[in-house]
Structure 1
């Protein structure tokens, strides 16, 4: 698909935002608040979610398909609002695919800007990462921290039950609270010196209130939405040639690879607004 595109930047187009499911809507929500004049297309691969337990090759394949689709819809800039996709596909797409197939287009992720903020906030130099199995196993946060803050100690905790808790709206009942408490206690038992904690999955901000109830008061809890929004604004200021081709009419469009009605219902939990979606196929 992508090799048939005209790679010349010639018209103003929306910014593409991709996630394997619904979590990226927490990123989009902050983008809308911080950049209300910009146009955005959100694409959720809900039919094949979750990505968290899939292999590197499968996640790369699925993510590239989504990027290609957003490019074919005119997007010159795509944000991978998904930690798993950012961890397992972003670098390959940036280094191998874009130079060959779409050199004038850009794909950005959420991990690098999150790590930059982590390092600036922690006083103890001990930070924690809560993420999916895929993100934790990729060790992407460990590698980025090692590059930027080599003297920091990073402790990770995979929370495979948390995404279903959010999507099934079970995080405020007794069973949901049990699994939230279990993973927080497990992380803190690994390193009691942690003073800054990143929610390294875009679903997890929905759980912030419940997490805060069991997290020691002195620990900073970091959500990625405002971090990614600030980072994108900074990126566009530093790359005016990209900003110039971003359309700015405050338009939003939503696409899902799964049931439209299911997407619209669940997406309202994340965006706290009603929306209309369209179905789209990636494979």
Structure 2
């Protein structure tokens, strides 16, 4: 058995906010990041399409030597993860694993909210899947969950407009919408890994008592815990402190945006699926 990098997949750039935290908390491991930018965004696509695209990318990462793949994408986690885990892994390789970002986030939300009223901000696909309410209620049945789809937020980030004045209109609109659903919401979950780049602007429209929860650090700590509890998987993950980036779209565009996300120069490789 050859050791391999930990695979990190996202439909575009959002998963880089998770990868950045992986490198902080688990810097010793090798990572292989795949952004399916050519087919992004996934948020408005059907369940079947997201499942097929995600499965293709997972198989690619497996073929590149990854034994463990993290779907650092809420839409893929919501629409494809369970099907891949239940239907495909045994046929591909029963020893490989695919994990998502929704469960780690929902596991800790009860320790954040005092009022037990929680808001979820996500893509249309994530919200329509109802994954967050379902997972939260498994751990905290008493928590009331309110959701808001923000279809323009990912395009703002993908097109490098997240810091521009045009972003304010769409951010204010959806914050007003979600908070109007309950005056007791004290916690808002950024249910998309793209959204941390909008966090500063989002914070401007939030009351001081509302906490904003990003996923990167939560998922990174969950991965660390997973590897500790599964030494057989930890033994399969190579440790060289390297990170390789693949994109299905233009490498120059990917590198420019990824360098902002990662706060360092990124040089990616183009692949065709």
CA contact under 8 A between 2:160 and 2:257: conserved in structure 1? no
Which residue in 1 is equivalent to 2:137?
146
Alignment partner of 2:190 out of 199, 223, 237: 199
Structure 1 residue 167, shift from structure 2 partner: 2.1
- C-alpha distance in structure 1 between counterparts of 2:79 and 2:232, whole Å: 28
Alignment partner of 1:267 out of 248, 251, 258: 258
- C-alpha distance in structure 2 between counterparts of 1:167 and 1:221, whole Å: 21
- C-alpha distance in structure 2 between counterparts of 1:173 and 1:251, whole Å: 33
Map Cα deviations across residues 161-204 of structure 1 (whole Å, 9 max, x no partner): 11111122323333211111110011000111111111000000
Spell out the pairing of 1:91-102 with structure 2 (5 A cutoff): 91-102=82-93
Which residue in 2 is equivalent to 1:7?
none
Q: Is residue 50 from structure 1 mapped to residue 41 from structure 2 by the alignment?
A: yes
Alignment partner of 2:180 out of 184, 189, 192: 189
Aligned length: 273
Q: Show structure 1 runs of 4+ deviating over 4 A.
A: none
Instruction: Give the unaligned 5+ runs of structure 1.
Output: 1-9
CA contact under 8 A between 2:12 and 2:158: conserved in structure 1? no
Q: Is residue 64 from structure 1 mapped to residue 64 from structure 2 by the alignment?
A: no
- The secondary structure found in structure 1 opposite 2:245 is strand
Alignment partner of 1:248 out of 236, 239, 244: 239
- Please report the RMSD computed on the Cα atoms of aligned residues, expressed in angstroms: 0.8
Normalised TM-score (structure 2): 0.98
Structure 1 residue 266, shift from structure 2 partner: 1.2
Normalised TM-score (structure 1): 0.95
- The secondary structure found in structure 1 opposite 2:244 is strand
CA contact under 8 A between 2:6 and 2:68: conserved in structure 1? yes
Which residue in 2 is equivalent to 1:214?
205
Structure 1 residue 92, shift from structure 2 partner: 0.5
| Range with bigger deviation, 152-161 or 96-105 | 96-105
Which residue in 1 is equivalent to 2:269?
278
- C-alpha distance in structure 1 between counterparts of 2:167 and 2:114, whole Å: 31
Alignment partner of 1:111 out of 78, 95, 102: 102
